Amino acid sequence: MNGTECMDRLIAGQRENPGMTLDQAFYVSSRVFERDVERIFRQQWILVGHVSRIAGTGQYFLLEIANESIIVIRQSESVVSAFYNVCRHRGSRICLQPEGRRRMLTCPYHSWTYGLDGALKVARTMPEGFDPSQYALTPCQVRVHHGLIFLYLGSGQAPDFDSLYGETVPYLAQQGIAEAKTAARTDYPNAANWKLVVENFIECYHCAAAHPEYTSVHSEEKLKAFGAGPGSGSQEDVDRFQVVQEAWEQRTRESGNFVGILEPEHDAFAMHQAARFPINENGWLSETIDGTAACNRLMGAFQEHDGGQTAVSFNPFSYVLASNDYAVVFRFTPRDPLNTDIELTWLVHPDAEAEKDYEVAHLTRLWHVTTEQDKTITENNQLGVLSSAYRPGPYSSREARNIRFKHWYLDHLGASPGSSGPGSVACSSSPTG
């Protein structure tokens, strides 16, 4: 049986038990991981950061995803570009530091030098007839959406961005994401498969046991209904919370602020959604440990606190969660079958000043603590999944988004566009098989 047939068989087996977690192979196998990268991460727009991280011309940062390294760079005041971090001479990495600033991109191996537009400018002692125009850096497709930088790593036509994400505009515009600036950024290397990280993030079944700080911020009813966004709770819990939701929406509309819940069909290509909810009906101003404001400068169009939060999910690994006075950008990036990078970026009003308008520790505390707890949870989950005793278990009624994610994942994995061919996957569930 070749690799493609084996993967088809694995996928078919998961569909037979839609309410159960995935088999071990999907969380540990290197060949399944290769298919994940090819059929999912190369087919989706990936949120990689905010433009304020590269505010000046020549500033760059690296995106490390699977075996790829991508240079995301400010080419000019109005242009953000991205290139594979691979010299066109003999393939060396060009940028070796995770971020920095360059006037030109010079390879440290043989000094081939590229402009910020990726064009080859200097290549010493090349033979007669050498044409520099044929050796520009390999670009990635880039889209900046309200200050958020997205990359498409596929080789063909990218999905139409506006048709996918146009409906997120009112949420991001009201929040002022385009004009915001970075107040803090933290990496959380996670020794777990990317699907375990995602599955943990999109359910709040675990919140009461694992997140005392987070659960102290939100009411029990809200956590059951919308603790991990629309669709994460049972319909019964949603109906029970609806009175609170509708009352808050009425007050918020009267104050002139936008409200709404966007939840596309279950077969949506990107599994995207957006929503606004009350943080806590007991007077919480911001999603902070004690409910007090995180920043004295409100973002975007907000004139006063409305007690709400905004959540935007672009796909299962790209999120923005925001209060009136700050926002957090979440990025989950796969490195290999057993490791995922988690990056959180906190955004504030562009004129807000640290230690005057906000204290970084207060601004970041809730999601820093919660993410550290999630890191422990998912790493322990991965260790258990690696055991010979692991068997798929049943999802609860509060893990409805996990069931949807499973369907979404299998649909993408089973699609056939691919550059994958026979031998690209295998039924082995070992970390290297």
pLDDT digits (tens, 9 = 90+) for 322-345: 999 999 999 999 999 999 999 999
Which of the residue ranges 27-31, 81-85, 220-224, 369-373 would you say has the lowest mean pLDDT? 220-224
Count of helix runs (H) and strand runs (E) in the chain: 12, 17
**Coil/strand/helix, residue 429:** coil
Backbone φ and ψ for 396, nearest 5 degrees, come out as -90, 175
Average pLDDT over residues 5-10: 81
CATH number of 46-152: 2.102.10.10
Average pLDDT over residues 217-245: 87
Q: How far apart are CA 419 and CA 283, in angstroms?
A: 53
Residue spans per domain, the chain: 3-43+387-414, 46-152, 162-385
Closest CA to 372 of 339, 338, 344, 345: 344
What's the pLDDT score for residue 226?
86
Chain position carrying tokens 């911020």:
217
pLDDT band at 424 (very low <50, low <70, confident <90, very high): very low
pTM for this model (two decimals): 0.93
**Coil/strand/helix, residue 170:** helix
Query: Residue 391, Cα to own-chain centre: how many angstroms?
Result: 28
Which of the residue ranges 36-40, 222-226, 241-245, 345-349 would you say has the lowest mean pLDDT? 222-226
What's the pLDDT score for residue 3?
66
Backbone φ and ψ for 80, nearest 5 degrees, come out as -110, 130
- Per CATH, the homologous superfamily of domain 162-385 is Naphthalene 1,2-dioxygenase Alpha Subunit; Chain A, domain 1 (3.90.380.10)
Asked if pLDDT for residue 418 goes beyond 70, the answer is no
Q: What's the pLDDT tens digit per position in 54-89?
A: 999 999 999 999 999 999 999 999 999 999 999 999
Asked if pLDDT for residue 429 goes beyond 50, the answer is no
Q: How far apart are CA 163 and CA 158, in angstroms?
A: 12
Average pLDDT over residues 377-383: 98
Q: How far apart are CA 177 and CA 168, in angstroms?
A: 12
Decide: 123 and 112 in contact? Cβ < 8 Å.
yes
Q: Which pairs count as long-range contacts for 77-83, CB under 8 Å and 24+ apart, including other chains?
A: 80/51, 80/54, 80/142, 80/144, 80/149, 81/116, 81/117, 81/118, 81/139, 81/142, 82/139, 82/140, 82/142, 82/151, 83/114, 83/118, 83/137, 83/138, 83/139, 83/140
Average pLDDT over residues 289-301: 97
Percent of the chain with pLDDT over 70: 94
What's the pLDDT score for residue 16?
86
Is the pLDDT higher at 147 or at 397?
Answer: 147
Asked if pLDDT for residue 394 goes beyond 90, the answer is yes
Asked if pLDDT for residue 168 goes beyond 90, the answer is yes
